[in-house]
Amino acid sequence: MLETFSVAFVVPLQGPTGIYGPSCLACGELAAEQLNARSGVAGRRIDLVIVDGGRPPELVAAEVGHLVESRRVQAVAGWHISTVRQAITRRIGGQVVYAYAAMHEGRDDTAGVFMLGERAAPASRVGAAMTLLAGATGIGYAVGSAVAGRLADVHGHTGAFAVTVTAAASAAVLAAAAQPLLRRIGNTDSPGLGARTVARAAT
């Protein structure tokens, strides 16, 4: 039996997402330290094998695939973008447990893949949300500029500034009022993370 349980820890160390790399590494190292301070995983000490997830997806997948196929690691985990996750899944899906911690665009039914982060948004809602956002932004700028200009003519800069304050306050009230409805919609769209994880682990 192996004395250690090695995990390919895939986090970005370069590129646009490299800004998250240090915090990702710190979280992974802390988790491993806390587990090892007890009994590790099934009595085996956790060993993180760092893989740079900031490189092109196929390069990352090739390195992870080599680690898995050579039995250097027994699991894969980390925080990286979805294109990297998809490349890794194509290469090693079903061979070892793969825990993906970042936000994502939707489910992945590949055996052994566990999506631990929140889903970014249901795909069916993205188009409607972006259309509404773009339309509201354009209308808001037009109305705000017209009203602020008129108030500036009559009351000076103080009157124009009131438009910004009023708009911000209105947005805060609207956001607070919409929260219960958005939570109900979110709960209806998909089961909770805990339920999904338990169900998949049991199958």
108 shares a domain with 26: yes
The secondary structure of 85-102, three-state, reads HHHHHHHHCCCCEEEECC
Q: Final residue of a domain: which of 120, 143, 167?
A: 120
Cα–Cα distances in Å, from 192 out to 8, 118, 126, 188, 202?
Answer: 27, 10, 20, 10, 16
The 75-78 sheet, strands edge to edge: 45-52, 4-11, 75-78, 97-100, 113-115
Last residue of one domain, picked from the residues 120, 136, 167: 120
- Tell me what the mean pLDDT of segment 65-81 comes to: 94
Pull the structure tokens for residue 25: 């590494």
CATH number of the domain that 41 lies in? 3.40.50.2300
**pLDDT at residue 124, as a whole number:** 64
Residues 14, 83 within the same domain: yes
Q: What is the DSSP letter of 71?
A: T
Instruction: Identify the pLDDT of residue 62.
Output: 96
Q: Is residue 199 part of a domain?
A: no
Q: Where are the alpha helices (DSSP H) in 5-114?
A: 21-36, 57-69, 82-92
Q: Is the pLDDT of residue 187 over 50?
A: yes
Residues 98, 81 within the same domain: yes
Q: Is residue 196 part of a domain?
A: no
pLDDT score of 45 more than 70: yes
**Nearest Cα to Cα of residue 32 among 78, 64, 70:** 78
- Please check whether residues 113 and 179 belong to one and the same domain: no
Residues 151/163, Cβ–Cβ less than 8 Å: yes
Per residue in 139-172, pLDDT (tens digit) is: 777 777 777 787 778 778 777 788 778 878 887 8
Q: Residue 102: exposed, middle, or buried by beta-carbon count in 10 A (0-12, 13-18, 19+)?
A: buried
88-129 residue pLDDT tens = 999 998 899 999 888 777 677 778 888 876 665 666 666 667
Q: What is the pLDDT of residues 129-146, one digit of tens each?
A: 777 777 777 777 777 777
Q: Which domain holds residue 11?
A: 4-120
Residues 81 and 129 in one domain: no
Cα–Cα distance list, 1 to 39, 42, 198 (Å): 15, 11, 27
Overall number of domains in the chain: 2
